[in-house]
Every structure is written in structure tokens, then in C-alpha cells.
């Protein structure tokens, strides 16, 4: 008599790489050994690769000092967001930046600093005070900055990188020149945990009680011109209307949509729409349930009730002439 002792394969989690990024750190801190990890070079690459083979992913969403992560919200404008990829969790990391250089680097000779846009922004005051003439080079991640520094010609000892102290340990030829260089010591980054299905739950280690949240994307519905309109335009060569900044539907969003859900709105983000109309925008509305949450984990009926309530709000938004999509519930 034989017993099948084969272990269930651990799900694969994608993160913004390479090894040593803050995204890698927060993923490991919150998912531990429940999963296996695979890196991707950009936030877009992580989002695009979410699938049944790679059911989960982690991307940065916002920093408390430098604001929203543009690359993440830019991808959330795509049609795959809310159709093939969903937000199913979040995690927060205290971020402590370090100035890192090749061993033997004289700080006084630094002429170039590499890092991710967010890290450069979070250390802006420090850089301007200490390296006012340094060239700032943006790269895809903080770990990519350290990697590029490690791979540079050894004769070039005038570049430095901003990354974590943990990241620096992955490179034998790098050392920390100065620690805690971020402008604010209470510097935190929030991350989204993505999934290939709205019904898939990431195996997060954090079991603290929390309120349920949702993210909804809202945009104006762009009416399509008829063929006759296009033919007439081609004959008369009517120029397109001039862009009108004041045509943005901000008043509609603020006065109507924010009260449509009947649910507390915790944040609103805006990015340019993917439509061909200048100054058209897409809005990201984050919602949070009412009342204290003491359930660990929340009961399925509570989650289903929350999804239905958010869905009802989405339907009311559509009824007033906008397009709305649930991007995530967690």
C-alpha cells in the first residue's frame, strides 16, 4: 500500500526585480516561504505576466513622501486591468535608503547618482544638499541601480546608487557610504498584491483585522463618430477641436460620482486617458467599507456583500454616462 506524499506546488509570485529591490523585500516579508519568487525588469512586465502560471504579483503603489507610483497607475489604465489582472491585497514597508558606491569610492568625487525615480524623489533634499551638481539617472528599480553600478568599469569610481542596505549585500564590490538618507524618516511605501482572478486569495502572512477595500477605474465614455462624419471631415478637412483643459469632468467626478457609491472614498488618483481626446482623464477611486473589522479572515458572505455593494455603485456610475471597472477587492 502506497501513500501519495507529493506536496502541492507553491504558487509563483512575480516582483519588480532584480533581487534586492524593496518590492522583493516586501513580497518576502508578507508571503514568506508560502510561494516561490520570480523577478521581472519593470512594473509593466510584472503586470503583463500575471496568469494562471504566475498567479500573483507585487508592485509599488504609493510612497508617503513622493506620492503615487506613476508606472503602476499607467498600467492600471489598460484593458487587462479589471479583466485579467486584479488587486487582491496590499502591504506596507518602511523604506530606509542608503547611498551605495564601489569600494574605495571617495564621496567627494561623486558626479552621478543612479536609482529609481521614486528613490531619487524621496532623497531629493539630501542629494541637492550634498551633490548639487550630480547627474541623476533614472533606472527601473533601486536594485537595478546597484547592479548597474557593480557592472560599471572599475576605473569609473564617480558614480553612486540609492538602494537599501539589504540590496547592497548582494554585491561584493559595493559598500554603504551613508545610511538613512531619505528626506523623511517616517518614509513608507504601499504595495499592491495582484492576482489573475478576483476569486484568488494571495497567501499573505499578515492576519491583522482590517477593513475591506476596493479600487474602481472611472472614465468618460467617448462617443464614436459615424462613417458619414468621417467622410464629411475628410472632404471638408475640418481641423480637430482645440484641446480644452476645462472640459475635464472633474466637477462631475467630485459632485456626482463620489456620492454615487454611498461608501467612504479614501483616495482619488488621476492619469491621462488612453483615448485620443486631449486632456481626457481616467480616475481611480479607492473605497473602504464602513465599521470596525474584527474577523480574521473575513467571512465569505461579508466579502460577497462588499463586492455586490461596490458593483452596485459601479452600475450607478455607468447610468450617469461614465465607464467604470472594478480593478480589485481586498
- CB-hemisphere CA count at 13 Å for 74? 7
Residue 243 has pLDDT above 70, yes or no: no
Instruction: State phi, psi for 254 to the nearest 5 degrees.
Output: -75, -40
pLDDT at 137: 96
Query: What is the rounded CA–CA span in Å between residue 185 and residue 95?
Result: 9
- 252-263: buried (b, 16+ CB within 10 Å) or exposed (e) per residue? ebeeebbebbeb
The candidate with the shortest Cα–Cα distance to 75, out of 40, 38, 39, 48, is: 48
Are β-strands 213-220 and 67-68 bridged in parallel, bridged antiparallel, or unpaired? unpaired
State the cell numbers at 37. Answer: 519568487
CA atoms 128, 141, 218, 257: torsion sign: negative
Which of the residue ranges 107-116, 168-177, 318-327 would you say has the lowest mean pLDDT? 318-327
Query: What is the rounded CA–CA span in Å between residue 136 and residue 46?
Result: 25
Query: What is the rounded CA–CA span in Å between residue 62 and residue 70?
Result: 9
Residue 233's pLDDT band, with cuts at 50, 70 and 90, is very low
Task: Give me the mean pLDDT over the 149-166 stretch.
Answer: 85
Which of the residue ranges 16-25, 66-75, 247-256, 286-295 would you say has the lowest mean pLDDT? 247-256
Summarize pLDDT for 285-303 with one digit per residue, the tens.
999 988 766 666 778 888 8
**What pTM was computed for the model?**
0.85
Contact yes or no for 69/62 (Cβ under 8 A): yes
Amino acid at each position: 500500500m502506497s501513500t501519495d506524499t507529493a506536496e502541492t506546488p507553491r504558487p509563483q509570485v512575480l516582483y519588480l526585480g532584480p533581487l534586492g529591490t524593496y518590492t522583493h523585500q516586501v513580497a518576502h516579508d508578507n508571503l514568506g516561504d508560502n510561494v516561490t519568487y520570480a523577478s521581472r525588469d519593470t512594473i509593466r512586465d510584472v503586470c503583463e505576466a500575471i496568469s494562471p502560471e504566475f498567479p500573483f504579483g507585487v508592485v509599488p503603489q504609493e510612497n508617503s513622501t513622493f506620492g503615487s507610483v506613476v508606472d503602476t497607475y499607467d498600467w492600471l489604465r489598460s484593458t487587462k486591468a479589471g479583466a485579467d489582472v486584479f488587486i487582491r491585497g496590499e502591504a506596507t514597508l518602511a523604506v530606509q535608503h542608503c547611498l551605495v558606491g564601489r569600494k574605495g569610492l571617495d564621496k567627494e568625487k561623486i558626479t552621478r547618482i543612479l536609482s529609481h525615480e521614486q528613490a531619487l524623489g524621496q532623497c531629493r533634499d539630501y542629494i541637492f544638499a550634498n551633490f548639487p551638481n550630480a547627474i541623476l539617472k533614472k533606472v527601473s528599480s533601486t536594485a537595478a541601480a546597484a547592479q548597474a553600478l557593480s557592472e560599471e568599469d572599475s576605473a569609473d569610481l564617480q558614480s553612486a546608487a540609492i538602494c537599501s542596505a539589504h540590496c547592497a549585500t548582494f554585491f561584493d564590490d559595493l559598500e554603504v557610504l551613508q545610511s538613512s538618507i531619505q528626506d523623511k524618516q517616517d518614509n513608507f511605501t504601499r504595495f499592491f498584491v495582484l492576482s489573475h482572478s478576483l476569486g484568488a486569495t494571495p497567501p499573505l502572512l499578515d492576519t491583522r483585522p482590517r477593513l475591506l477595500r476596493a479600487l474602481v477605474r472611472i472614465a468618460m465614455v467617448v462617443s464614436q463618430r459615424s462613417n458619414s462624419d468621417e467622410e464629411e471631415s475628410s472632404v471638408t478637412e475640418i481641423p480637430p477641436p482645440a484641446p480644452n483643459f476645462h472640459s475635464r469632468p472633474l466637477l462631475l467626478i467630485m459632485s456626482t460620482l463620489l456620492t454615487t457609491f454611498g461608501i467612504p472614498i479614501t483616495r482619488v488618483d488621476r492619469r491621462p486617458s488612453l483615448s485620443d481626446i486631449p486632456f481626457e482623464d481616467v480616475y481611480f477611486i479607492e473605497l473602504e467599507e464602513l465599521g470596525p473589522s474584527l474577523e480574521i479572515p473575513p467571512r465569505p458572505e461579508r466579502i460577497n456583500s462588499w463586492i455586490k455593494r461596490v458593483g452596485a455603485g459601479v452600475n450607478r456610475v455607468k447610468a450617469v454616462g461614465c465607464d467604470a471597472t472594478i480593478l480589485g477587492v481586498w
